Amino acid sequence: MATSMNVDYSTSIPNNVALGDDRRVLKALENWHPGYLNWWHNMGPDGFQEALVYLRTAVSVETDGWAVFDYVRMPEYRWGILLAPQEEDRKIPFGEHAGEPVWQDVPGEYRAMLRRLIVIQGDTEPASVEQQRHLGQTAPSLYDMRNLFQVNVEEGRHLWAMVYLLHKYFGRDGREEADELLRRQSGHKDHPRMLGAFNEATPDWLSFFMFTTFTDRDGKMQLEALAQSGFDPLSRTCRFMLTEEAHHMFVGATGVQRVIQRTCDAMKQAGIEDPYDIAAVRKLGVIDLPTIQKKANLHFSLSLDLFGSEISTNAANSFHAGIKGRFKENRLEDDHALTSATYQVPRLVDGEIKLTDEPALTALNARLRDDYVRDCGKGIALWNNTLTKAGVDFQIKLPSTAFNRKIGEFKDIEASPSGVVMNESCWASREADWLPSKADGDYIESLMKPEIEPGKYAAWISPPKVGINHQPGDFEYVKIDG
């Protein structure tokens, strides 16, 4: 049975965790708040801090209670601590404690493991805001600008979610970790963000749409795995974050789809049949399909690295402990202990990629990654459907999981998108066919001119089919001058 979860807006930090009765944590969060606002001003969206943005926010965490839309200045957005309702009698779903009541406090023996996972999760949230901070300046429409800012404020809220757990459950070292989350910076030489993909640039809007398609989807999978946790506050936090994550992937998948649509329309109009006639397509001021494929290759492979090594004792330990589960663990029908099960993992055997049987416990990162690859198929299907309907002879394909990897089994080899292992000189001669080159980046950058008239769109992207909250086509999603 779920309890009703209205959000209390009477404390300085909106919440549904009775912060008003928890003076210690409220005080700690109030102390952290100015540093957060400082970070938002310095590292959040560049400009537009005075603009009125049509954003949604939560009044309760029930399904109908959180999508309330209004104009807000971003620094005044009410970042809150929102947890999904507590399920009565919830039991630990997997691992050696399966069937025992979930923990409402941190079990001493798993403290370090839990803190590490929460810190890594927390670190990615502000990182993505930093990566996207200049994009407002080149938004292809007010609709897209608003979506960017919606994603940004929600990533800010996800940071708050992890910081709440650190302050509430981890005492002094939790407070220190919360401060560090504001100190590390994406791409910084001395104190970078923790995971590779979060130190890469997001230089243009196609990258943003690919990032929200592929990297936010890693976020979804990791949150799904943490939502299964036997540590109930983490599970409840992640369950609510997942409702927000869905919108981010919508922004990504429909964003790329609109870029593809516009390219197909322009090609048809100009009578161009060959999608590989890149010079002719670029003359039309749209993004050619092979370049879109290269961007997909890049962001997919960077996101695969976020799953860690295919074979991982860290993953085995956190599963065995009941801390991090599998995708949809509660719907899987096995013993939820995996002590004798095996799982097939692609590995490098005598220089070739082969499927091998591995202990299922140590193969959990590979398994989550496989679930992720299947989930990515949905975004790709949307794009390919657009290409098919337009009658353009081109399909976007996901590259092999061995392609362009920096972490895990394939980090020391080079493989083509179709998974053929190759030597370095062969790779070097083909790299520009498979990953975006400097020239591709320069071309895309040349298209990145802001379009800020309500209802207008840059020439390289189609308008969306439906407005946010069903607003009409010329709706002013961002009032730039406030």
Convert residues 184-223 into a mask of x (bound to ligand BYC by CB under 6 A) and - (unbound): -----------xx------------------xx-xx--x-
Tell me how crowded residue 4 is: count the other CB atoms within 10 A of its CB.
10
Complex with ligand BYC: residue 211 or 434, whichever CB lies closer? 211
Dihedral, 223, 228, 233, 234 alpha carbons, nearest 10: -30
Q: How far is the CB of 213 from ligand BYC (least distance, A)?
A: 10
Crossing angle between the packed helical segments 111-131 and 313-320, to the nearest 10 degrees: 120
Site string for ligand BYC, 80-99 (x = CB under 6 A): --------------------
Question: Going residue by residue from 140 to 179, which x/- string records binding to ligand BYC, judged by CB under 6 A?
Answer: ---------------x------------------------
| Cβ count within 10 A of residue 453 | 11
Give burial (CB, 10 Å; 0-12/13-18/19+) of 261.
buried
Cβ neighbour number for residue 433 with a 10 Å cutoff: 13
**What is d(CA 477, CA 70) in angstroms, rounded to the nearest whole number?**
10
| 466 Cβ contact list (under 8 Å, min separation 6) | none
- Min dist. Cβ of residue 6 to ligand BYC (A): 27
* Of 28, 74, 102, 117, the one binding ligand BYC by CB under 6 A: 117
Query: Does 125 participate in binding ligand BYC (rule CB under 6 A)?
Result: yes
Q: How far is CA 270 from the centre of its chain?
A: 36
Give the total of residues touching ligand BYC (CB under 6 A): 25
Answer yes or no whether residue 312 interacts with ligand BYC by CB under 6 A: yes
- Between 308 and 322, whose beta carbon lies closer to ligand BYC? 308
Q: Which is nearer to ligand BYC, 131 or 386 (CB)?
A: 131
CB of 379 to ligand BYC, least distance (A): 14
Is 392 within 8 Å of 275 (Cβ atoms)? yes
| 124 lines the binding site for ligand BYC (CB under 6 A) | yes
d(C-alpha 8, C-alpha 281), whole Å: 53
Answer yes or no: are the C-beta atoms of 461 and 258 closer than 8 Å. Answer: yes
What residues from 330 to 389 belong to the interface with ligand BYC (CB under 6 A)?
A: 365
Residue range at the interface with ligand BYC (CB under 6 A); choices 22-30, 38-46, 116-124, 231-239: 116-124
128 touches ligand BYC (CB under 6 A):
yes
Let me know: does 376 contact 369? Beta carbons within 8 Å: no
Residues of this chain that interact with ligand BYC (CB under 6 A) are 117, 120-121, 124-125, 128, 155, 195-196, 215-216, 218-219, 222, 305-309, 312, 314-315, 324, 365, 407
